[in-house]
Amino acid sequence: MPHPDIDLNLLRVLDRLLAERSVTRAGEILGRSQPAVSNALARLRAALGDELLVRGPDGLVPTPRADAIREPLREAMALVAAILSDGGAFDPARFTGVFRISTPDRQSLAVVPPLLDRIRRLAPGAALHVITADRHHALDLLDDGKTDLAIGWIDGEPRHLHHALLIDETLHCVLRRGHPLLKRKARFDIAGVLSFPHVVVSATGARTAIFDDLLAAQGLARQALVTVSNFTVVPQLLAQSDMIGVFTQIAAGIFETSFGLATRPVPLDVGTLPTRMVWPARHDRDKAQAWLREQIRTVYRDLAR
């Protein structure tokens, strides 16, 4: 049986490799070259007597031994970071790490640009890594250690995650300014909205979104003429047709101000959608992460004005 001789730096590399499943990405986050990370992995394999990570079809795949130590190692690294913290104030101007978040496409439109602007001004040495993810994928990314924080409509409150409400959003219809429903004598009611075909955005690849669930609860349905997985082509599709899109107010506002489309509140009482910020409990005392959460809160306060 091998006698491991592993220093803290090797454990940091292993923790990041298990999260990223890529020597290149782990090196970028740790600020190390690819050969240095590969060398560290070789030392870890020798010390632990296990391959730890092997090549798979989509990157590195952990061995059963690596899977078994992944969560204890993550907790141990968080504890070490807390122990070694000097208790001083966080200085964003000197920070050189990567902030990793996930957010649905509808939030990215309005949130990522002002968040990046704040980071560039206040923490010029930091980088922002954003992954587009629906609520289910977002939780998987957090559990796998691939992101530090998730923004979106998150179901439930898992015990290992902490959360904060950012905004309660209403739903809005988005359509071209010359749309028949906007003519002087037209009635802008739910029957009229549902009489036209819709553009549906679903990150999961499904042909329905949350609005369809809310309609179904009231015995209603809409016709999805086009379904896409992101918002890239939505402005063009709406501007050149009589289709309608139904999105949350922040996304709708971007379509109005940036693309010249018209917006109207959905003429049906469907309540609001809470957008939350969710993060692992182990990051509660991480000062860099606490700073990031405050920047996100500030961005949402500005958007809500």
Assigned token pair, 40: 């560290």
What tens digit of pLDDT does each residue of 47-105 get? 899 999 999 887 899 999 998 888 888 878 877 776 666 556 789 999 989 999 999 88
What confidence score (pLDDT) does residue 159 get?
72
Number of residues written out for the chain: 305
Opening angle at CA 103, ends 267 and 13, nearest 5: 170
Could you tell me the two tokens for 26?
């782990």
Name residue 279's beta-bridge partners: 162
pLDDT in tens, 267-291: 999 999 999 999 998 888 888 999 9
Average pLDDT, the chain: 89
Residue 2 pLDDT level (bands cut at 50, 70, 90): very low
How far is Cα 196 from Cα 187, in angstroms, rounded to an integer? 13
